[in-house]
Structure 1
Amino acid sequence: MDEKLAVTVCVPVKNEEKNLARCLEAIGSAFMQVVVIDSGSEDATCSIAREHGAEVVHFEWDGKFPKKRNWCLRNYVFQTDWVLFLDADEIISPAFIAEITSVVKQDRVVGCWLNYSNWFMGCELKHGDKFRKLAFFKRSAGEYERFPEDAWTHLDMEVHEHPVLEGPLGEVQSLIEHKDYRGLKHYIGKHNEYSDWEMRRYLWLEEADLSEWEGLNSRQQFKYKHLKEWWFAPFYFFVTYVAKFGFLDGVIGWRFASMKYRYFSDIRFKILEAKS
């Protein structure tokens, strides 16, 4: 591509030396800006970013709003309105770049849902509950949702928060490959942190105004309404493994669905413990 696409790619990182090079190699030189937002990596993450031509911006969270993505949206000097947020374990394709080029040129939407091919324990999951995020949008259309979580979270980046945008949304069909090379130990550790966050958000929503519930999408409303119920974890297992044909992925499909069963069980037990 001779002309760079008017999109800024933002890659929030911490200790991502095992993943980052593949992510940046796939990004290549197609975009006007590529910025890596680092929060104190102690490995070779920053040097890898610079070797691949990315700008490195350092972020130190003070425990309050904004966290990493919103901080970047508010403080980085952008040359573009369109921004694409990628995790270091996400790899885009030429087909994906071509599709978002068309989105930018047509200028009919303010953001797009992105679809992902998920890998688990070294194998691609072709079935089950599909992973999607709203991670490509115009900065002028909004930012990530905010919760009063200063007193109860140590996650310095928006993980489960979604962008709140004003305007029509589209969808990019070309898949982003989601493939983490840090192994199951890291996966379990991160999901233990995420289950803490989900528990605390559940407890906050119990006391929140109705307007906070109305701001959730239908899937979020269903989840937070029923997270405490005994049947929620087996329900999710059934949906992803049976109803959405996760069993066709063989033993890896079983293991992935089982880990999700464990994740939602962990959230429920943490809720029950907090309320006891």
Structure 2
Amino acid sequence: MLNPMDLTIAIPVRNEERNLASCLQAIGSDLARQVVVIDSGSTDATAAVAHTHGAECIQFHWDGRFPKKRNWYLRHHTPTTGWVLFLDADEILTPAVKREITAALMSTSHQGFLLSFTNYFLGRRLRGGYPLRKLALFRVGEVEYERIEEDHWSHCDMEVHEHPIVPGSIGLIRSRIDHRDLRGIDSYMAKHNQYAAWEAHRLFSHRHQPHTTASWKPHQRLKYRLITSPWGGLAFFLGSFFLMGGWRDGGTGFAFCLFKAGYFTQIACRLRELEQLQTCRQQGAKGA
């Protein structure tokens, strides 16, 4: 396996006692030099689970502004290894993924790697739908997540959809990480409700500060062009369920695609509401 001196695995968490043990067990002791759990004041047994599995646990207290959890960790607890891999507590490294990461990091000129994921929904592994990939493995000291000034309009203390800014080339780990949240449908819905509010505020901010979109990649521009319209949810559903094979998962696949379509529709509606509120304020200011 990979020389333990090469890699740190960082896991940002809050109240993840149900997921964290499986995540840490899958990492094992032969992949990374260090495993760090970055906790946001969990009120459950998250910290105890981290210590039981030999992971270092550090506490993060967000003040509502930049930096959030991942960038804060990179700046204030900079890993001493050459590479860092950010995992969520509901992401399980499979043996195939660990082998591929090992082989990739032994000899590469890339600055970062996209990771591939398999989704689970209602306890079932999904075969269809849009492929899930994200950039979460990169060289220490060369990459940070994009900076978004929030000034307390969000309750998300961790970078969720902020993208790492990579100055060089990006590789791809094709073996899939299992993305399996054990906290149930209530947690799933609450999480995406929070994410939708964040995305709407982010888009609202970008509309009034166009220069902030300069670093967006083509796929980001397409995504945000779609979800600024209520029709974006329908477009996602049709593409995911019919074109990308969501139908292969039967009723579970239909429900998953429907939930995701609702999420994108919610973003568009929240954005429209923010625009309407601003218009009302401007009209009120003029009439005063």
TM-score range (shorter-chain normalised) is over 0.9
Aligned-residue Cα RMSD (Å) equals: 1.3
Contact 1:5 1:101 in 2 (8 A): no
Partner SS, residue 18 of structure 1: helix
| Aligned equivalents of 1:120, 1:189: Cα separation in 2 | 15
1:193 matched to 2:194: yes
Counterpart residue number, 2:214: 214
Counterpart residue number, 2:283: none
1:104 matched to 2:81: no
Counterpart residue number, 1:75: 76
Counterpart residue number, 2:274: 274
| Aligned equivalents of 1:223, 1:8: Cα separation in 2 | 31
TM-score in terms of structure 2 length: 0.92
Partner SS, residue 74 of structure 1: helix
Q: What letter is aligned with 1:189?
A: A
Q: What letter is aligned with 1:181?
A: L
Alignment of 1:102-141 (within 5 A): 102-141=103-142
Q: Percent identity at matched positions? A: 44
Partner SS, residue 221 of structure 1: helix
Q: What letter is aligned with 1:224?
A: Y
Q: Which moved more, 1:177-186 or 1:230-239?
A: 230-239
Structure 2 unaligned regions, length at least 5: 277-288
Alignment of 1:1-276 (within 5 A): 1=1, 3-4=3-4, 6-30=6-30, 31-210=32-211, 212-276=212-276
Partner SS, residue 242 of structure 1: helix
Structure (1 or 2) with the larger CA radius of gyration? 2
Superposed CA offset, 1:144-167 (max 9, x none): 001111231111000001100111
Deviation at 1:129, TM superposition (A): 0.8
Q: 1:250 to 1:270 in 2, by over 3 A?
A: same
Q: Which moved more, 1:217-226 or 1:57-66?
A: 217-226
TM-score in terms of structure 1 length: 0.96
Contact 1:118 1:178 in 2 (8 A): yes
Deviation at 1:238, TM superposition (A): 0.4
| Aligned equivalents of 2:170, 2:128: Cα separation in 1 | 25
| Aligned equivalents of 1:116, 1:5: Cα separation in 2 | 26
Q: 1:266 to 1:218 in 2, by over 3 A?
A: same
Counterpart residue number, 2:281: none
Q: What letter is aligned with 2:96?
A: A
Q: What letter is aligned with 1:178?
A: H
Partner SS, residue 6 of structure 2: strand
Superposed CA offset, 1:178-213 (max 9, x none): 000000001000111111011111111111234x22
Aligned pair count? 275
